[in-house]
Chains A and B, each alone.
Chain A
């Protein structure tokens, strides 16, 4: 491990990296040719190449967002990013066939073990592409399609063509344009009518190389009356130079379907995490975003739901932890586009050691969408004087028959709480760890148990060695 990596790796236990072995690696920098080369390399149909090129041109013209953290955004050097890196020639179905370095990494991250114990399927992406992929046979027999996105496009081009970019058009924002231009990897998941996938399926995204850009693209379609829980994890080595992760995730929940999408991103603190996630919920469908942001340098991510069909329901539960040198600009957007739709938004953030967290939310009820109900709760916990928390809620309510609640609170850890816990034998750091875990509990309890335990440990670790 190089010295600079060692220096900043600190307590981040996923900060190790492998040698950078690649079978194909593009030179750094972005141009229309790079975009075309990616498409050609992947042997894509012409229509996909055309979408990519169009998106690239839009990206070039599109200005940076003027909110979030402009000074950090403007520090991104798009010419110093590797846009495509293939580290393994195939997506393997058995871990034994995955190259050793990469397999060891995923072993250290506990993925094969989790797969054995509690997952219905796994995609493991390393740099630009999936290196491993599998799905339980019984799910396959029921017609569930779970592939990495590149294979999805190859094997089911008509489905991909029908839905790709329909929820998040390339022109949505600068980073959705970038992703559409250079996307690689991600998941393609289709659940047939009436099928309930009981075990969660998981995708794990790992960046290994320096200055890497990872642009996965995920499309999930839950057909009528079906249900699925999709879990996503991500980590990267700690480097002193920046990496860029810019994903686009599109979810489509048909009538009566239910999709839960859970993420705990724990990128190292040199990663820009600029992700667009949006779902469409048709009649009586439910979409739940369970979104945890612990790592990264700057995250800008606002999982959204378009409630398009009557009776649809959205649930967004998110937490953000902003430690030293981190800015978590997160939130939720819900658009009530049909009558009698309901939504719940719960957002919790912790800022510590000079970290900054911002809640940015949008709640929209169109004039014709009557009888909607929504509740938004934002709680911020600030652990020291240097840290910061802001809330930017926007409400656009088009009628008077809807019932909306909004609550926001900012609090500090009280000395009474600390004294109480310490009088029960907890050191100050342990006491902080308990308080912080308790604060995130409404989120943690929604996670699969293994993730919850991991998250609690992570937060306890964050409280260590930092109290003077």
Chain B
């Protein structure tokens, strides 16, 4: 049995008193890629955010374990330092903070033995080349005035540099044209080989490029069906209504 990275047990989560997640369970091991699909509003981003520790979400019952340890006492930045990473559906802009500075500081605070000086620049250049990102990115302000595709690329660049043990990818494929999708998928595959990966998506097209081991269908705050890659095809084809009927 491979190492267990993430275990979510019967999780119930509310936002401002409204229950959003209603008994969700999920376990991911190192080297596994899981995909979660579901309609808008099903609670997919809520799951990603709550695992990362967003303070707006209240866990009313259930547990989350990271590498076997309960997460509840860890602040967001401690989770990041422990090796968790969230690629945001809507990354926030930080005006006035240059991408280059931001990446350097982020890597320095997250990685155990962060590369410095020339070693960092070398790694950065290599990662940016992989993602076909121009050097000019580095002097722009973080996500400020970025197109949707540029934001997603920057998220994946961060993932490559931070080398997480758990990667949560929230609709990383949205806003990408097919070439960009291919490039991003390469990045994901590289990280996924040695970590646990949870891909949240609406579409099959990313899953053609990043092969999931498990696909979960989520409806109204819970996983109601789990299958292999074929479930993704079926969901894209048939939608979610048939699951509700059979559930």
Using a CB–CB distance below 8 Å, which chain A residues touch chain B?
414-417, 419-428, 430-431, 434-435, 437-442
How far apart are the CA atoms of A421 and B91 in the complex, in Å? 10
Instruction: Let me know if A419 and B109 touch, CB within 8 A.
Output: no
Contacts of B52 in A (CB 8 A): 419, 423
Q: Which of B58-66, B92-100, B121-129 lines the interface with chain A?
A: B92-100
Main secondary structure of the interface of B (DSSP, over half): mixed
A383 to chain B, nearest CB (A): 15
How far apart are the CA atoms of A428 and B97 in the complex, in Å? 16
- For chain B, residues 44 to 95, give those with C-beta under 8 angstroms from any C-beta of chain A: 49, 52-56, 75-77, 79-81, 85-86, 88, 90-95
Contacts of B142 in A (CB 8 A): 438
B238 to chain A, nearest CB (A): 35
Cross-chain pairs A/B with CB under 8 angstroms, 10 sampled: A415-B56, A420-B91, A422-B76, A424-B102, A424-B110, A426-B106, A427-B77, A434-B97, A437-B96, A441-B96
Contacts of A428 in B (CB 8 A): 75, 77
Instruction: Let me know if B76 and A423 touch, CB within 8 A.
Output: yes
* B-side interface residues, number (CB < 8 Å): 32
Beyond A423-B52, A425-B109, A426-B105, is A442–B77 a contact (Cβ under 8 Å)?
no
Instruction: Let me know if B77 and A437 touch, CB within 8 A.
Output: no
Instruction: Let me know if A426 and B54 touch, CB within 8 A.
Output: no
Instruction: Let me know if A438 and B94 touch, CB within 8 A.
Output: yes
B120 within 8 A of A: no
Instruction: Let me know if A424 and B75 touch, CB within 8 A.
Output: no
Instruction: Let me know if B81 and A441 touch, CB within 8 A.
Output: no
A216 to chain B, nearest CB (A): 32
Max count, chain A CB within 10 A of own CB: residue among B86, B92, B102, B109: B92
Using a CB–CB distance below 8 Å, which chain B residues touch chain A?
49, 52-56, 75-77, 79-81, 85-86, 88, 90-97, 102, 105-106, 109-110, 141-142, 158, 162
* Residue from B53, B54, B102 within 8 A of A434 (CB atoms): B102
Contacts of B158 in A (CB 8 A): 424
Contacts of A419 in B (CB 8 A): 49, 52, 54-55, 76, 92
Contacts of B77 in A (CB 8 A): 422-428, 430-431
* Residue from B54, B81, B92, B102 within 8 A of A414 (CB atoms): B92
Instruction: Let me know if A422 and B88 touch, CB within 8 A.
Output: no
Instruction: Let me know if A423 and B86 touch, CB within 8 A.
Output: yes
How far apart are the CA atoms of A120 and B27 in the complex, in Å? 65
Instruction: Let me know if B95 and A415 touch, CB within 8 A.
Output: no
Contacts of B81 in A (CB 8 A): 425
Instruction: Let me know if B55 and A415 touch, CB within 8 A.
Output: yes
Q: What total of A-B pairs shows CB separation below 8 Å?
A: 83
Instruction: Let me know if A417 and B109 touch, CB within 8 A.
Output: no
Instruction: Let me know if B110 and A438 touch, CB within 8 A.
Output: no
Closest to A442 in B: B96
Contacts of A441 in B (CB 8 A): 95-97, 141
How far apart are the CA atoms of A416 and B102 in the complex, in Å? 16
How far apart are the CA atoms of A457 and B168 in the complex, in Å? 33
* Residue from B75, B94, B105 within 8 A of A417 (CB atoms): B94
How far apart are the CA atoms of A415 and B162 in the complex, in Å? 22
How far apart are the CA atoms of A415 and B15 in the complex, in Å? 15
Instruction: Let me know if B96 and A440 touch, CB within 8 A.
Output: yes
How far apart are the CA atoms of A414 and B110 in the complex, in Å? 23
B226 to chain A, nearest CB (A): 27
Beyond A415-B55, A423-B52, A425-B106, is A434–B94 a contact (Cβ under 8 Å)?
yes
Contacts of A442 in B (CB 8 A): 96
Instruction: Let me know if B95 and A438 touch, CB within 8 A.
Output: yes
Instruction: Let me know if A426 and B94 touch, CB within 8 A.
Output: no
Contacts of A426 in B (CB 8 A): 77, 105-106, 109
How far apart are the CA atoms of A417 and B91 in the complex, in Å? 8
A-B pairs with lowest CB-CB distance, top 9: A438-B96, A441-B96, A425-B109, A422-B76, A425-B110, A438-B97, A420-B92, A425-B80, A424-B106
Contacts of A439 in B (CB 8 A): 95-96
How far apart are the CA atoms of A117 and B80 in the complex, in Å? 40
Max count, chain B CB within 10 A of own CB: residue among A421, A425, A438: A425
A194 to chain B, nearest CB (A): 35
* Residue from A416, A425, A427, A440 within 8 A of B92 (CB atoms): A416
B169 to chain A, nearest CB (A): 13
Contacts of B75 in A (CB 8 A): 422, 427-428
Instruction: Let me know if B97 and A422 touch, CB within 8 A.
Output: no
Contacts of B56 in A (CB 8 A): 415
B166 to chain A, nearest CB (A): 12
B139 to chain A, nearest CB (A): 11
B133 to chain A, nearest CB (A): 17
How far apart are the CA atoms of A437 and B102 in the complex, in Å? 12
A59 to chain B, nearest CB (A): 42
How far apart are the CA atoms of A431 and B49 in the complex, in Å? 18
Contacts of A437 in B (CB 8 A): 96-97
Beyond A425-B77, A435-B94, A438-B97, is A420–B55 a contact (Cβ under 8 Å)?
no
Contacts of B91 in A (CB 8 A): 420
How far apart are the CA atoms of A415 and B75 in the complex, in Å? 14
How far apart are the CA atoms of A438 and B52 in the complex, in Å? 24
How far apart are the CA atoms of A416 and B49 in the complex, in Å? 11
Closest to B81 in A: A425
A435 to chain B, nearest CB (A): 6
Instruction: Let me know if B141 and A438 touch, CB within 8 A.
Output: yes
Closest to B80 in A: A425
A431 to chain B, nearest CB (A): 8
- Give 12 A-B pairs besides A438-B96, A439-B96 with Cβ atoms closer than 8 angstroms: A419-B54, A419-B55, A420-B92, A422-B53, A424-B162, A425-B81, A425-B106, A425-B110, A438-B97, A440-B96, A441-B97, A441-B141
How far apart are the CA atoms of A421 and B94 in the complex, in Å? 9
